[in-house]
């Protein structure tokens, strides 16, 4: 029997991992996140399964190695929270789930955009209180507008294609251009500055890397078309929150929909409804009527959770069997 210690386990993680586990897997669930303080609790496990807020830095990885862990299985696509260089040096294998329903994330980006633009969240609250007034609920037609898709990987492409279905002109930016895909879908690649100047909607779909850290900051916000709607379902640190708040206060940015936030670790996924929110910038963002925030839930569909569980558990089984991992999943 091989053991997988699952950190930051939420009820949906537990349900989907249990539903897809086989008899040879022993699963141990920890509600708390992986950190140097909690790594020792992986003792006895062959592998740990972690998510976006777990901190697999060098210190933590050394501690995991020390208690006999051989495999770090990320149950997400992004891996900016794992020190891959340290993992390699320590002989730890790292895998991820590179694609789990990119449709789930792209569709959530659209859900955010439509909700924010047509003010559905505000209308819903009003109607529940028998306030049937329409004042302040004016949106705009998506049809005929220009969207900038930053990052045309799996999720960015689907987002672009959905937007094309709404009759939106799509400009795309990526370090690797796929001109054949763009031509087939009526999308045009352009430079970042050109897109920022032209787009009515900008949707972020690049991974978080040193190059994309604060891709949206004071400098790029100054170049952005006034009134722009900004959507981020990728990683919080793509946006400099301080600069964003400034641009919201002047009205330069027309609307912001976020599924991710720069300092989300320890806040998103938690029920803090009975507590005092300590993050002043998040508190400020929540006061803007034109800011819509969800708690990193773009992936949260039945299909995505099933794929995450299946790929994670299959890689765990392959490691035990000494066989190669599923294609494209191994990072170290
Ligand atoms: P992907 O790897 O398929 O695509 C990323 C694209 O970004 C690639 O085409 C790449 O060339 C491009 N890129 C990389 N660096 C760039 C740069 N400096 N400038 C411009 N383009 C650059 O990734 P995928 O599956 O589309 O996911 C994108 C991101 O979405 C992930 O990295 C992750 O952070 C986030 N994500 C968020 C989820 C959520 O629940 N909110 C769930 C899954 C992913």
Q: Label each residue of 98-126 as H, E or C.
A: CCCCHHHHHHHHHHHHHHHHHCHHHHHHH
Contacts of 57 (CB under 8 A, 6+ apart): 36, 83, 86
Indicate where the chain has its CATH 3.40.50.720 domain(s).
3-100+301-321, 102-293
Q: Check residue 1 and give its pLDDT.
A: 84
Residues with CB under 6 A from ligand 1: 77-78, 99, 102, 105, 151-156, 173-176, 205-209, 211-212, 233-235, 259-260, 296, 298-299
Contact 231, 113 (CB under 8 A): yes
Alpha carbon separation from 323 to 74, 174, 314, 316, 332 (Å, rounded): 18, 35, 11, 10, 15
Options 3.30.450.40, 3.30.1330.10, 3.40.250.10, 3.40.50.720; CATH of 3-100+301-321: 3.40.50.720
Is domain 102-293 annotated with CATH 3.40.50.720? yes
Q: Whose CA is nearest to atom 39 of ligand 1?
A: 298
- Please state the atom number of ligand 1 nearest to the C-alpha of residue 233: 41
Which of 97, 210, 212, 234 gets mutated to test ligand 1 (max ligand atoms within 8 A of its CB)? 234
Dihedral angle of Cα 238, 329, 155, 29, to the nearest 10 degrees: -70
User: In the sheet that 291-293 helps form, which strands lie side by side, from edge to edge?
Assistant: 187-189, 169-173, 146-150, 201-204, 228-232, 253-258, 291-293
Q: Check residue 78 and give its pLDDT.
A: 86
178 C-alpha to center of ligand 1: Å?
15
Q: Centre a 10 Å sphere on the Cβ of residue 278 and count the other Cβ atoms it contains.
A: 11
Q: Whose CA is nearest to atom 8 of ligand 1?
A: 153
Contacts of 210 (CB under 8 A, 6+ apart): none
227: left (phi over 0), alpha (psi -120 to 50) or beta: left
Contact 282, 261 (CB under 8 A): yes
Please list the active-site residues.
235, 264, 296
- Please state the atom number of ligand 1 nearest to the C-alpha of residue 299: 40
Query: pLDDT per position in the chain (332 positions), as tens?
Result: 899 999 999 999 999 999 999 998 899 999 999 999 999 999 999 999 999 989 999 999 999 999 999 999 999 988 999 999 999 999 999 999 998 899 999 999 999 999 999 999 999 999 999 999 999 999 999 999 999 999 999 999 999 999 999 999 999 999 999 999 999 999 999 999 999 999 999 999 999 999 999 999 999 999 999 999 999 999 999 999 999 999 999 999 999 999 999 999 889 999 999 999 999 999 999 999 999 999 999 999 999 999 999 999 999 999 889 999 999 999 99
Contact 83, 57 (CB under 8 A): yes
73 C-alpha to center of ligand 1: Å?
19
Which of 153, 216, 294 gets mutated to test ligand 1 (max ligand atoms within 8 A of its CB)? 153
Per DSSP, the residues of 68-83 read T--EEEESSS--TTB-
């Amino acid at each position: 029997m091989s053991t997988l210690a699952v950190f930051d386990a939420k009820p949906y993680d537990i349900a989907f991992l249990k539903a897809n586990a086989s008899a040879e897997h022993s699963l141990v669930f920890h509600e708390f996140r992986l950190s140097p303080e909690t790594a020792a609790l992986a003792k006895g496990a062959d592998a740990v399964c972690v998510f976006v807020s777990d901190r697999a830095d060098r210190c933590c990885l050394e501690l995991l190695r020390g208690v006999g862990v051989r495999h770090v299985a990320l149950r997400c696509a992004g891996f900016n929270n794992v020190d891959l260089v340290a993992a390699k040096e320590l002989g730890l294998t790292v895998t991820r789930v590179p694609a789990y329903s990119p449709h789930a994330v792209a569709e959530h980006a659209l859900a955010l955009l439509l909700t924010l633009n047509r003010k559905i969240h505000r209308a819903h609250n009003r109607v529940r209180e028998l306030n049937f007034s329409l004042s302040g609920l004016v949106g705009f037609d998506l049809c005929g507008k220009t969207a900038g898709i930053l990052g045309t990987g799996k999720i960015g492409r689907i987002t672009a294609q959905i937007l094309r279905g709404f009759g939106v002109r799509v400009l795309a930016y990526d370090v690797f251009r796929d001109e054949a895909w763009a031509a087939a879908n009526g999308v045009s690649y352009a430079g970042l500055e050109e897109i920022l100047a032209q787009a009515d909607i900008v949707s972020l779909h690049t991974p978080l890397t040193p190059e994309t850290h604060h891709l949206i900051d004071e400098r790029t916000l100054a170049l952005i078309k006034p009134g722009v709607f900004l959507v981020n379902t990728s990683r919080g640190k793509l946006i400099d929150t301080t600069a964003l708040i400034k641009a919201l206060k002047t009205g330069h940015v027309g609307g912001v929909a976020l599924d991710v936030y720069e300092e989300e670790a320890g806040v998103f996924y938690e029920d803090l409804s009975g507590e005092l929110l300590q993050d002043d910038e998040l508190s400020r963002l929540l006061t803007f009527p034109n800011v819509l925030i969800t708690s990193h839930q773009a992936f949260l569909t039945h299909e995505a959770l099933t794929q995450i569980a299946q790929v994670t558990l299959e890689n765990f089984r392959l490691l035990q069997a000494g066989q190669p991992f599923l294609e494209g999943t191994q990072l170290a």
